Structure formats: C-alpha cells, structure tokens
Structure 1
Amino acid sequence: MKNSSQESKTRQVPNLICLTGIDGSGKSTHLRRLSKWLEEKHNLKSSPLSVWEIAKNPTYHKHPFISDRNAVHKYLGMLHPTARALFIFHGLFESFDLTKDSIAPIVIADGYWYKYAFTENLQGQDLDWLLAICGRFPKPKLTILLDLDPVDAWQRKPNITP
C-alpha cells in the first residue's frame, strides 16, 4: 500500500492543462482542437483526461457501473452526495493513472475535479470535505475557464449530464 507521499509522487504530471467550465461551454470540443493543434503545429502529443478514461482500462471493460454510461448515470442519480462524489473521484483517479501509461508529454483534462466538486457542492456536499479529497489530485500547470453564458451553453448542449 502506498503512503500519502508515495501516492502524490506517482500522480505528478509535469504538463497538465485543465479546460473547465459549465456543461455546454465547449470543454470536450476545445480539448480535441487543442490536442490537434499541439500535434500539427508543435509536434507535441497529448493525452486526454476525463472521468470516462477509466472505461478504456481492460480491467473495467465489462464492469456494469463503468463501461455503460447510461447505467453509470442511472446509478449516480440514486446515490447521496457523499457516495456519488467518492464514486466520481474514484473514476477520475483511475483515469488519471491511465495517463501515466501514455507517452504523451501533455495531459489535457476535460473539466477535471473542479467540475465534479462544484456540482457535488451544489447538491449539498460540504465544500471543505470535497476540497480535502480534491487536494489529492495534481495541480495543473495551466487552467483555462471556458466562460460561456448559460443560455448559450444550454443551446449547445440541451441535455443535462447527471
């Protein structure tokens, strides 16, 4: 079992960029465009980081609460804030570990922990508790907030992601 200092050392990513913002602000779109631009213009490969990267791990290919997004969304809707936050952060930590296997020198996070901590706080979870857990995630070298008017965001993405 790793202790706290060992775990934080293994989770350091020297070039972590985070794109964050509300649902519909264009995080995933900008992540794809930034990744393409970095490769075409600067010959730099990047690896995406989202809570869903965990599903790419062969260990979880058949796991019903990870491989099937609809089942995950349904399950998350049944949980109270503490259990839901722990499940989501578990997925993000596992997804982050997968980026360590990539040869890409840059990791681009889609929403990162900010998205989930904010949402869980709005659902009633204590902010200090959330921040204590999220303090285990590596700090990005650069965080970009995609600040889009909520009306425009709803037009881009009319369905709510649970």
Structure 2
Amino acid sequence: MYRFRKQRETKDTKPFPGKLIVVEGVDGSGKSTQVYLLKRWLELNNVQVSFTEWNSSALVKRATKRGKKRQLLTPTTFSLIHCTDFAHRYEHEMVPLLKQGYIVLADRYMFTAFARDAVRGCDRAWLRNLYGFARLPDITIYFDVAQEVAASRVLTGRARIKYYEAGMDLGLAPDTRESFRIFQGRIAQEYERMAVEYGFTRIDASQSIELQQEQVRREVASQITVSDYKRPPDMAQPVDQYQALVM
C-alpha cells in the first residue's frame, strides 16, 4: 500500500499547456446540452478544443455492452470495467491533447464513477485510489437540479430505462421507473458530497438553457484566457453560423 501511495505522490504533476473542463450531474440535468453548446462556442472562437464522453472507449465498449445486456456485472466489475474505459481515453485521448495545448471538454469524468459506484457499495477511498492516475480538472461544472425534475425529464423522454441505469441490480424497487428515481436520488447525494470536497462550480440547471450557457461561458472565461488557446492560422476552422448559439 505504501508503495502505491508513493507512486501517486511522485507522479508527474507539472501543469499541461492545455486545460481540462468537466461537466457533471445526474441523468436529466442537461449537462450534455451545455457542454455541446460550450464546445460550439469555443469552436466559433477558433479555439483548439476536443470532446470526450463517459463510457465511449472502443477498446472495452463491446465487453461493457455484453456485460450489461446479460446483467453479469457486480458492483466491483462494473466499477473496474468503467475505469478501464476511462483510463484508455485518459491516456490516449485526453492527455495527448492537453499536452498539445487543447482545451479538452469531458462529459462526465471520474466523479461519475465516484457517485455511481459508491451508491453501489464500493468504498469511497478505494474508488479515489483506483482513479489516482488521473489529474483533477481545471474546471468542474456541476449542473444542480431537483431530483424530481431530472427524473421527470428522463422518464418523459424515454420509452424504457436500462437495467443498470435504473439501479435495478441494487434491488431498490421492483418497478424500473421507481428504482431509477431512488437510484438517481442517491447519486445526487454523492454529488452534493463531492461538490464540497472538490469545489465544483455549481450551476442551477432549472434555469433556461440560454441562461445556463451564459453562466458556463462566464465561468470558463473567468478562469481561462480563452484567446491563449486559439488554433494556429493554418488550422483555422470555417465559421459556423449556428443560430442556436447566437445570444
């Protein structure tokens, strides 16, 4: 144990030229919409920006899908397979781009695992050690919304909630929708704990999409000099006049 801790203490902690911005929140909080709008805003300002999302590594996607479909995942294997996905994206996508001076946007980061896996019974300290290889983000924006509102958004827009998404493996309730509400409520409690622990920037996700995006951009601009991350002239992108972004 000492050896592992020593490795964590001595790992390279020099700041990257790029910046890592993370969005977090329960299902239905609207974070994916907001990070998309932030990405388009940065692109329209000719910034070098890249996007990554939770559970999207091609390396383990097939195994993850098979395990979930057959309901084979225990809390520990669920945690480890998602950590493998994260580690692959972190080492092969995020870190190289951060070293090149990109702004990397992540739709969910290790905090998603901290919340979901803790609710499934994994030890919080074990989870933090498991993800000890990853750096803390430069900015973490937490979209805070009442659990009832978030659950209603998801349940209204979806015909079916998946087994693990609803927390059915925990035996919270026989009904999928009720289990989902309970599961997401417990995840929200973990996020509240982490918001204090890690100093998340909190956005009221019950506000209009436009108002939330204004606050997101303001927060980013207050902590990052966006103009420092512009693309070189020969890499400039054509301007996309996306009407939904005109505010």
- Same fold, TM-score > 0.5, yes or no: yes
| Aligned pairs for 1:93-108 within 5 A | 93-97=87-91, 98-102=93-97, 105-108=102-105
Cα distance, 1:148 vs structure 2: 1.1
Q: TM-score, normalised by structure 2?
A: 0.52
| Aligned pairs for 1:45-56 within 5 A | 45-55=48-58
Q: TM-score, normalised by structure 1?
A: 0.77
2:29 is aligned with 1:25: yes
Instruction: Indicate conservation of the 8 Å contact 2:48/2:103, yes or no.
Output: yes
CA spacing shift, 1:121–1:52, aligned 2, 3 Å: closer
Cα distance, 1:99 vs structure 2: 2.9
Instruction: Indicate conservation of the 8 Å contact 1:85/1:117, yes or no.
Output: no
* Pick aligned residue for 1:71 from 62, 66, 84: 66
For the residues of structure 2 that align with 1:8 and 1:33, how far apart are their CA atoms? 34
For the residues of structure 2 that align with 1:11 and 1:25, how far apart are their CA atoms? 33
Matched residue SS, 2:130: helix
2:149 is aligned with 1:152: yes
- The amino acid of 2:32's aligned partner reads S
For the residues of structure 2 that align with 1:152 and 1:115, how far apart are their CA atoms? 19
Cα distance, 1:100 vs structure 2: 3.9
For the residues of structure 1 that align with 2:67 and 2:32, how far apart are their CA atoms? 19
Cα distance, 1:34 vs structure 2: 0.6
For the residues of structure 2 that align with 1:72 and 1:51, how far apart are their CA atoms? 17
* Pick aligned residue for 1:120 from 97, 117, 122: 117
For the residues of structure 2 that align with 1:95 and 1:12, how far apart are their CA atoms? 19
Cα distance, 1:134 vs structure 2: 2.2
Cα distance, 1:150 vs structure 2: 1.3
CA spacing shift, 1:15–1:127, aligned 2, 3 Å: same
- The amino acid of 2:48's aligned partner reads K
Share of identical aligned residues, percent? 26
Instruction: Indicate conservation of the 8 Å contact 1:49/1:96, yes or no.
Output: no
Matched residue SS, 1:146: strand
List alignment gaps of at least 5 residues for structure 1.
none
Matched residue SS, 2:144: coil
* Pick aligned residue for 2:84 from 85, 90, 94: 90
Which stretch has the larger CA shift, 149-158 or 121-130?
149-158
Cα distance, 1:124 vs structure 2: 0.7
CA spacing shift, 1:132–1:149, aligned 2, 3 Å: same
For the residues of structure 2 that align with 1:119 and 1:110, how far apart are their CA atoms? 15
Cα distance, 1:74 vs structure 2: 2.4
What are the Cα deviations for residues 18-53 of structure 1, in whole angstroms up to 9, with x where unaligned? 10111111121111111001111x311321122333
Cα distance, 1:104 vs structure 2: 6.6
For the residues of structure 2 that align with 1:124 and 1:11, how far apart are their CA atoms? 34
Cα distance, 1:71 vs structure 2: 3.0
Instruction: Indicate conservation of the 8 Å contact 1:8/1:138, yes or no.
Output: no
